[in-house]
Structure 1
Amino acid sequence: MAKVRFFGEIPHNPPGTVYQNRIQMNAAGVHMPTQAGISGTPREGADSVVISGGYKDDIDQGDVIIYTGHGGRDDRWRHIADQELTKGNLALVRSQLEGLPVRVIRGADRRNPYAPASGYRYDGLFRVESHWREVEEGGFQIWRFRLVRETASSISVPSVPETTGIERGNRIPSRTTVTTQRVIRDTALARELKQRYDHSCQICGLRISTPSGSYAEAAHIRPLGSPHNGPDTASNILCLCPNHHTMFDLGVFSINDDLSLVGLHGTLSILPGHAIDTAHLAYHRQHFYEELDRIVDQTIGLPVSDDRSR
């Protein structure tokens, strides 16, 4: 009988628990695959990942991990093809979209100061903050995921059968304190830019009025956090409605240098004096925009069997 996928901490397996091998992790329910580095399906999301030095593109900063997706490698760990946004990679995107916690397990790696000396260690819950694509040194496309530590306390989202009727859901939702590291943004600059556009979206023109005043969001074209390290300047900020902000961050559309939209019809509205740096637009197109018809539909929920070392 297949194990039920569980999102969150596994009882009796607190952060810091060490396992000799993947078989022990499987038995504990901490990481179910005995080979794959990503546990999950595109339909359900990813419940756990293993980082163990197999990918030189991984960056481990302790509370922030830049995690490389799976695929595109041969038996000798050489890149021979582009990675695709399918299977385990798409499972991590689903966790980002649904806000699901991901268990991070570190394997022994003498090059990583955060890794255990031997075996595998469960190091707590992380969230998938963002994903994008890059071209690695050999010229092949890879997918990257920014994982940010959530909290050392238990956050669990159990997988339960679907029910019908109005009683579905939690009568008393659980609460937890979450501590995360975030880049400090220049809120005064963002506020000034939104006021300049009268809180109207530069894509659709929508202006959201509330009893407390108008609402819009400041969207950074090139993200501020590592490894993107975009600047917090007006040339890197757009005034968007919540819908187009989310769509922009998730790569549903992007913007050409002439301010025409790619992925959507239309042109970015721009006021005199608000100069957008085209280098930031090019960065977004290269790293975040993905034509939807290039993404294979992986919603049937097939299990991940790929070893992330390939």
Structure 2
Amino acid sequence: MQSPRRIRELGLVVGTLPTGPLNAITDVPGVRVGQTTITGDGLNTGVTAIVPSGWETTLPAAVAVGNGYGKLIGTTQVDELGVIETPILLTGTLSTFRVADAFLTWLLDRNPQATSLNPIVGETNDGHLSDIRRRPITPAHVHNALDNATSDLPAEGCAGAGTGTTALGFKAGIGTASRTLRTSPAGGYTVGVLVQANFSGLLTVLGRPVPAPPIDADGNSCMIVVATDLPLDSRQLGRLARRAVFAMARVGSDYAPGSGDYAIAFSTSRTATYAERDLRAPFQAVTESVEEALLNSLTMAHTTTGFNNHKAHAVPHDLLR
């Protein structure tokens, strides 16, 4: 038996850049996260909502596709216009469309004049631990996640959209991390990420492989949401999003053929004034944050027995040490 602990609580430090106060996506000013978790009766699933301030009047954004075996709703408009006009929701694969419909109701209630909206909903397949064909997500679950989003440290591991996911041979789930970039004595910027980890490979921690027995799971994917207050345009955010997918390799992803690996990056700033030559530090911040968030998704998860008595074991903390 072990208690969920973040990777830094185990004495393992990823990278060299300083973290934000919470070491979470919610360190980015104006970004909130809400989650609904569903367990019991063969179910381990849920909804995770990333809600940035200012979404009502659009925010610059971009999507990077590592492997497109997935259902990320709303991507073509983000690619075309370079903005998001809604929060971002994550869930289990076959619930994606029910979540999108309930999300649309929530959006229409807040904009009585709208005749076109582009909800962003991503997914990974939690069918190993949850009866995915039941599609149990209801509008109440979706609205609860959106309405109760806060700027607190988001729950990690077996929470929200990560309740039933596995990664790298162990129980995984939601993970988050952040990095700060000081650009003047008066302050700087923040890069934060949140991941929904559900992919295969050989777990690697700080460059060291940690072998695990394979899990015969249905589907292997990863959703990564990158938030920042850096004044970046859509093209620059696309460069950050690609680095987020690259960073999966640092924890041992094998980028399997059946994996849907996506990153969506957005900025809470609408003024794109950041010089290309200065992107080295933001690239490093994204890479370190994704690596740490993925490890947090594992070390904060607990052993779970789910649908058809399938089991996913938590990664042993002593093994990592």
Q: Which category of TM-score, normalised to the shorter sequence, fits these structures?
A: under 0.3
Q: Normalising to structure 1: TM-score of the pair?
A: 0.23
Higher relative contact order (CA 8 A, sep 6+): 2
- Rg larger in structure: 1
Give the number of the structure whose residues are more often strand, by fraction: 2
Query: TM-score, with normalisation over the residues of structure 2?
Result: 0.23
